[in-house]
Every structure is written in structure tokens, then in C-alpha cells.
Amino acid sequence: MSHSDNAIDVEHLTVSYGPVPALLDISFSVQPGQLVGIIGPNGSGKSTLIKSLLGFVKPDFGAIRLFGKNADQVKGSIAYVPQRGAVDWDFPVTVQDVALMGRYSKTPWYRDLSPTDRELADDALEMVRMSEFKNRQIGQLSGGQQQRVFMARAIAQGGDLLLLDEPFSGVDAATERAILDVLRKSRESGKTTLVVHHDLSTAAEYFDQLILLKQRLFGFGPPEAILQPELLSEVYEGTLRVFANLSSKKEPSPANKDRLPGDSNG
């Protein structure tokens, strides 16, 4: 497969903040339509990898290509959901305003948003079950509801690549189900999704592939290859209690193999 056939190609990526290395010689490729989790301990470079793909941080060395092009050539094809802590929730905008922000990258500066743009934003809010809050100020929502609104903004943008930075962190059960619905539908529609994820106990259920980071790339592949106690102990520097459960998980049956949690039998 050539580089142009991949959704993501990362080659020898090295990023540092001053004298401190964040990523060291990272290389991997992701095929279109994959749902990929990025795991690793705190400070391992997970968010830096996302920011590098977005072009927010410049590498010291190496290259990134998205759909065979430089990142700055495909900005309109990338949708991003940041960590909740990176957002100013006091900014005076409504839920609907935030969802509509996803359409601005598709609209020339001299043109107003069209009825179609507004319909797509409304559909996105419906998908994450936030339509009834469309006129609410974003700061008046719970943390989980805020996360769902930013998911709606990403959906409304309609990008081919979706980057999520810890979307499941501290959310309620309803928000977790809504995010899983988005991941499932994105995969079904052929979109490529990368998710920074901290919960090893759910990583095997949620993702097709896993990237295991600790400054360097320790593994990239299907969950059953990455969630090995010996490998995780090396990266996390010790035995975590969850490791014992990972190796004992049952393989999904062929009928359920391609389902995310929450998928219906229909």
C-alpha cells in the first residue's frame, strides 16, 4: 500500500518542548476507516501526538502526511475534540453556536451559513442527544453535556479524520453512550478516528487498533497484541491491577466481533 492510500503516515516523528523530549522517533501508518486508541501513562506524549497531527506543534524531525498530503493541505478534513480542560466554558455562546462552529471551515468568510449548514449542525446535536439544550449557554451544562456538544461540533464539520483527546474522561454514562454512538457511526461511514484513551479496561472493546506510547512507540496493532501484561508492565513501570483482567477477556464471537458496546442487534 502506498502512502497516498493511508489516512495517516507518521515517519520518525520527534517533538520536544525545549530540552524535554515528548515524542522520539515515532513511525506508524493508519488505514482509512480505522478506529484507533492512543494509550500510555501520563506524560507519554499522547496529546502531543494529536497536536502534531493537527499542526499545533512543529516536529524537531520527521514527517506527517494525512491522506497523502501535508497536514496544512487537509485542515478542512480534520475534526478535533480537545480535552475539556483546554476550553473556556465561560465564553458566551449557546450550544447551537458551538455546533455551528463546525461549519465555518466549510464556508467562505464572505458568506453566511446556509440553511443546509444549520440543518447539519442540528442533526449533529440530535446524534449526541443535545437538541433540547440548543439555546442553553455552554457554561451552564454539566461536564458530560459539554463534551457531547463538542462532539456535535466535530460531527457537523464532516471531516474524514476525527481526533479526540480523552473524550471519556470524567463523563457520565449517557455521555459515554453518546460518544460510542459517534465512534460507531464514524467507523461505519468510513471515517478514520484517533482517540486518546486512559482506561485500559475498555480499550479492547472500543478500538480496532491501539497505539502504545511512552515517548517512543512501544506497540501498534490490534488490542490483543498490545494489551499484553509484559508489554504494559514495561511501559507503565510496574504491574497494574487491571492487567490481570485484560488477558482473561473472552474473544468476541464472530457475530459480535465488529460491534462497539451499545450496538443493537438490528
Residue 217 within any structural domain of the chain: yes
Rounded to the nearest 10°, the torsion over CA 146, 223, 29, 238 is 90
**Mean of per-residue pLDDT scores for the chain:** 85
**Residue 63: CATH number of its domain:** 3.40.50.300
Closest CA relative to residue 177, chosen from 133, 134, 128: 128
**pLDDT tens track for 105-137:** 777 666 788 899 999 999 999 999 999 999 999
In which domain, by residue range, is 195 found?
3-246
Residue 31 within any structural domain of the chain: yes
Residue 259 within any structural domain of the chain: no
Percent above pLDDT 90 for the chain: 56
Span 29-35, average pLDDT: 95
Residue 156 within any structural domain of the chain: yes
| The total number of structural domains that make up the chain | 1
Element (H or E) spanning 216, and its range?
strand 216-221
End-to-end CA distance of the chain: 34
Residue 221 within any structural domain of the chain: yes
Span 187-201, average pLDDT: 93
**pLDDT tens track for 33-84:** 999 999 999 999 999 999 999 999 999 999 999 999 988 888 778 999 888 7
Lowest mean pLDDT of 69-83, 102-116, 210-224, 234-248, name the range: 234-248
Closest CA relative to residue 68, chosen from 98, 93, 117, 32: 32
Find cell 488505514 and name the residue. Answer: 31
Distance CA 1, CA 30 (A): 11
Residue 261 within any structural domain of the chain: no
Q: Supply 51's cell numbers.
A: 497536536
Residue 7 within any structural domain of the chain: yes
User: For 112-196, where are the E strands, in sequence order?
Assistant: 161-165, 192-196
Percent above pLDDT 70 for the chain: 84
Residue 256 within any structural domain of the chain: no
Distance CA 27, CA 227 (A): 20
Span 18-32, average pLDDT: 95
**pLDDT tens track for 149-163:** 999 999 998 889 999
